[in-house]
Amino acid sequence: MYKKILILTVLLLALTISSLFADKSLERIANEKGVEGETLYNDKKFVESAQTFEAAITKLEEAVKTDDIPLDNEKIARWLELAFNGYYQGKKFEDAIRIIDRQLKLDPTNYTYINYKSIILKKYLKRIDEAIVVLKEFNSTKRSFKVEKKIASYYSDLEDYENAVIWYQKAYEQKKDATVIEKIAIIYLKLDRNGEAITAYKDFIKTNPNESVLAKTYKNLGKLYEDMGNNAKSIENYEKSINLKYSSDIVLTLIMKYYEANSYDKALEKISLFLKNKPGNSDAIYYRAMIHFNCEEKEAAIDDFQTISSDPKYSKLAMGYIESIKSE
């Protein structure tokens, strides 16, 4: 009797378990897959987790069709994001792009997806032409400063400067940006179109940017003239820049330029300004020492050379000048 009861109990238990599995809905299976995917991701099994999230989405979509449940796009979007992260972390970039394409079907205007897709295509898959196409298609629906600037930078990376300048100009139409105008000017230089580079900066200045941006623009224009070998124009624009916003780099550049041109009064003026902001700076003191030396102001020169004689950059040179002066 006991044996019969035991057998019956086991059979009932088996039937119950079988019934539970048989009754498990597709939606429940999908959710369990989602939990499994998160566990795998946390265990750094990135590719397996991504594949599991995709399986979860498939089950959920089956549930929508067969069980007539509402489509939970929010849940699908979350699982797609996790699947993308898994493939990306696992360096399965083709799969990562495939997931992005699914994300774009849910949210076609989301720039984040397009940005990631273009980066993966360019950086990891070395398909920069395809990345440009992706960005252009996205931009065709609604023009964007960020997208047009990125397209221009990708063309620049390809050394297709003609197209690069076209797209930087498009971006500049969207936003009068100092960085973009600098890029345009640099490209014009690469194309040996120096006049257009200068015009680009001058046109930007006419837009009346704020002082900080204007100072940077004059600095860039000064560098442009410097690269072109026009020292006078270079100095003119560097001066305009520091009058708006002090920059130690520019002031030191002006010190060197004035020194090389034997404009000692102007060089000393800039040295004084530099040392006011950076007291004891060896570079400035070195040029002051050299000016004193060239002007036969020996004692003042010795004082300055002694000041910088402990600086490894100038010690040997300074001691040489001190010995030379004292030997006269």
- The Cα–Cα gap between 244 and 16 comes to 83
pLDDT at 6 over 60: no
- Alpha-carbon torsion (184, 186, 187, 191), positive or negative: positive
Per-residue pLDDT, 302: 95
| Spatial CA neighbour of 165 closest among 174, 177, 153, 176 | 153
Contact between 235 and 244 (Cβ < 8 Å) = no
Q: Which of 80, 157, 73 is nearest to 112 (CA)?
A: 80
Q: Tell whether the model's pLDDT for residue 240 goes beyond 80.
A: yes
What tens digit of pLDDT does each residue of 113-128 get? 999 999 999 999 999 9
Cα angle 275, 277, 280 (rounded to 5 degrees) comes to 40
- Going 109 to 113 to 117 to 119, the CA torsion angle's sign is positive
Give mean pLDDT, residues 5-22: 47
Task: Give the confidence band of 207 by pLDDT, cuts at 50, 70, 90.
Answer: confident
Query: Cα(267)–Cα(288) distance, rounded to whole angstroms?
Result: 8
- Asked if 120 and 139 count as a contact pair (C-beta separation under 8 A), the reply is no
Domains and CATH numbers, the chain: 27-107 (1.25.40.10), 122-175 (1.25.40), 176-245 (1.25.40.10), 247-328 (1.25.40.10)
If you average pLDDT over residues 50-57, what whole number do you get?
96
| pLDDT tens, position by position, 172-204 | 999 999 899 989 998 998 999 989 999 999 988
Q: Please provide the distance, in angstroms rounded to a whole number, between the alpha carbons at the two ends of the chain.
A: 128
Q: What confidence score (pLDDT) does residue 23 get?
A: 58
> Residue 273, exposed/middle/buried by CB under 10 A (0-12, 13-18, 19+)?
middle
Instruction: Give residue 15's pLDDT band: very low, low, confident or very high (50, 70, 90).
Output: very low
What average pLDDT does the chain have? Answer: 91
pLDDT tens column, 122-168: 999 999 999 999 999 999 999 999 999 999 999 999 999 999 999 99
41 has pLDDT over 90: yes
Output the 3-class SS for the chain. Answer: CHHHHHHHHHHHHHHHHHHHHHCCCHHHHHHHHHHHHHHHHHCCCHHHHHHHHHHHHHHHHHHHHHCCCCCCHHHHHHHHHHHHHHHHHCCCHHHHHHHHHHHHHHCCCCHHHHHHHHHHHHHHCCCHHHHHHHHHHHHHHCCCHHHHHHHHHHHHHCCCHHHHHHHHHHHHHHCCCHHHHHHHHHHHHHCCCHHHHHHHHHHHHCCCCCHHHHHHHHHHHHHHHHHHCCHHHHHHHHHHHHHHCCCHHHHHHHHHHHHHCCCHHHHHHHHHHHHHHCCCCHHHHHHHHHHHHHCCCHHHHHHHHHHCCCCCCCHHHHHHHHHHHHCC
What confidence tens digit (pLDDT) does each residue in 17-27 have?
A: 444 444 579 89
Structure tokens at 66: 């067969």
Asked whether 210 and 176 are in contact (CB, 8 A), the reply is: no
pLDDT above 50 for 230: yes
**Mean pLDDT for the stretch of residues 206-232:** 91
Token duo for residue 269 = 């003026």
Residue 68, pLDDT score: 82
Cα distance between residue 273 and residue 289, in whole Å: 16
Question: What is the pLDDT at residue 16?
Answer: 47
The tokens describing 281, both together, are 């700076």
